Amino acid sequence: MAGVTNVAFRTLCRELEEERAGTTSGLYVCEMVTARALVERHPATMHMTTFGPQESPRSLQLYTVDPATTYAAARMIVTEDLADHIDMNFGCPVPKVTRRGGGSALPYKRRLFGQIVAAAVRATEGTQIPVTVKFRIGIDDAHHTHLDAGRIAEQEGAAAVALHARTAAQRYSGTADWEQIARLKEAVTSIPVLGNGDIFEATDAVAMMAATGCDGVVIGRGCLGRPWLFAELSAAFTGSPTPTPPTLGEVADIIRRHGELLADHFGEDKGMRDIRKHIAWYLHGFPAGADLRRALALVKSLDELDRLLDSLDRDVPFPPAAGGPRGRQGSAASVTLPEGWLDDPDDCTVPAGADVMHSGG
């Protein structure tokens, strides 16, 4: 997730999964980077591809709109040993991206989509690097593309597909339509199908798998301020007892560790600016007091973070009503597309200017 799953957050999730469930079976995907920025070696993009020394597999997500740049980026990943897994994201619903035919608008162009997937697969041929593809149900209810996208990705050699079970028009609003994950599972028969949308608790993941027959799940907002969710998922999948959710004191320790890891990655100044949004997610549902929340929202140093966290009441148990969406929600809206975009699904012209930097999926 853009702005979230950097090396600091992934390290924290892996540590907590190890500590609380005794395993690290989750696949933690790097923040999305654009293929063009990678190929052009933009310093900020290169920094985003930082992985931990022990991190395995190193999973990199690409945002891309054209086969040639995709091929170049994937070759770079192979020859420079930048990652062990490539995921491609076609889920972004941001108007600035769809307006140019990128993100969740792109799978409508079936042939172009197929050429992009094929380019990444070709670039990784003969390596152990699997290519997986993530997309939404489609542009809106009148333009579903997920079944075609799944079949095309499968045909072109993707190792798995993941469906965020919303249309682009839905953005992050309403509920995900898990029924469409079941439909995709029926359509794609030779590679795993992963389901995504509205998993906030381990029980949601189990319910999604039971309801749809999907082979695994992808977590988005559920892990915002809840990096221990993966330990709960591991336990649920192996039938082990659910680890007890952390008390406020344990959450404070997790925030401190997160802050330290962010400071290592970004330096203390930027690390502290970055931890602020996470703190709001961490404290969601906990009693913390408006003054303390306000002070934490302005935290500037690790020392100050320590001092502020010390004033939390460590004994407060995890609140029962602390689940549900955090991060993006928003409301549904029509999708802005390039002029004439829906006229010809077989047109493979690379959309102009769609390889802009953006965030989200």
Ligand X SMILES: Cc1cc2nc3c(=O)[nH]c(=O)nc-3n(C[C@H](O)[C@H](O)[C@H](O)COP(=O)(O)O)c2cc1C
List 52, 57, 249, 327, residue binding ligand X (CB under 6 A): 327
Structural contact between residues 33 and 63, judged by C-beta atoms closer than 8 angstroms: yes
| Interface residue with ligand X, options 26, 67, 91, 259 (CB under 6 A) | 91
Alpha-helical regions (H) of 22-109: 35-39, 43-48, 67-79, 95-98
- Contact between 177 and ligand X per CB under 6 A: no
The single-letter code of the amino acid at 153 is A
Is 96 a residue that touches ligand X (CB under 6 A)?
Answer: no
CB of 316 to ligand X, least distance (A): 26
256 vs 277 by CB, closer to ligand X? 277
What φ, ψ does residue 12 adopt, rounded to 5°?
A: -60, -45
Single residue of 195, 220, 227, 259 touching ligand X by CB under 6 A:
220
Site track 54-83 with ligand X (rule: CB under 6 A), x = hit? -------x----------------------
Number of residues that bind ligand X (CB under 6 A): 26
Reference 202, options 166, 235, 251, 175; nearest CA is 235
Q: How many helices (H) and strands (E) does the chain have?
A: 14, 8
What element of type H or E holds 304? helix 302-310
Buried b (16+ CB within 10 A) or exposed e, 98-124: bbbbbbbbbbbbbebbbbbbbbbbbbb
Q: Is residue 146 involved in binding ligand X (CB under 6 A)?
A: no
Q: Does 271 bind ligand X (CB under 6 A)?
A: no
Q: Cβ distance 73 to 116 under 8 Å?
A: no
Q: Which residue of 38, 199, 299, 309 would you call a contact of ligand X, by CB under 6 A?
A: 199
Which residue lies nearer to ligand X by CB, 219 or 299? Answer: 219
The number of C-alpha atoms within 13 Å of 249 and in the hemisphere containing its C-beta is 5
199 or 252: CB nearest ligand X: 199
276 binds ligand X (CB under 6 A): no
- State the minimum distance, in angstroms, from the CB of residue 198 to ligand X: 5
Enumerate residues 6+ apart whose C-beta is below 8 A from 358: 2, 34, 63, 92, 94, 96, 97, 102, 103
The one catalytic residue among 13, 30, 92, 223: 92
Q: Which is nearer to ligand X, 24 or 89 (CB)?
A: 89
Q: What does the alpha-carbon distance between residue 208 and residue 195 come to, in Å, rounded to a whole number? A: 7
Distance, CA of 2 to CA of 195 (rounded, Å): 19
Among 43-51, 218-226, 227-235, 258-266, the segment contacting ligand X (CB under 6 A): 218-226
Tell me the three state secondary structure of residue 223.
Answer: helix
Q: Is 134 in the site for ligand X (CB under 6 A)?
A: yes
**Coil, strand or helix at 68:** helix
- 31 lies in the site for ligand X, by CB under 6 A: yes
Is residue 156 within 8 A of residue 118, CB to CB? The reply is yes
Shortest distance, CB of residue 2 to ligand X, whole angstroms? 4
Q: Does 103 bind ligand X (CB under 6 A)?
A: no
Contact between 113 and 106 (Cβ < 8 Å): yes
> Which secondary structure element, helix H or strand E, spans residue 249, and what is its range?
helix 248-266
Query: Does the footprint of ligand X cover residue 143 (CB under 6 A)?
Result: no
**Which residue from 26, 130, 216, 222 is in contact with ligand X, where contact means CB under 6 A?**
222
Q: Does 198 bind ligand X (CB under 6 A)?
A: yes
User: Of 3 and 57, which has the nearer Cβ to ligand X?
Assistant: 3
92 tagged catalytic:
yes
Asked whether position 89 contacts ligand X by CB under 6 A, the answer is yes
**Which residues participate in catalysis according to the annotation?**
92
Residues that bind ligand X (CB under 6 A): 1-4, 31-32, 61, 89, 91, 134, 164, 172, 176, 196-199, 219-222, 327-328, 359-361
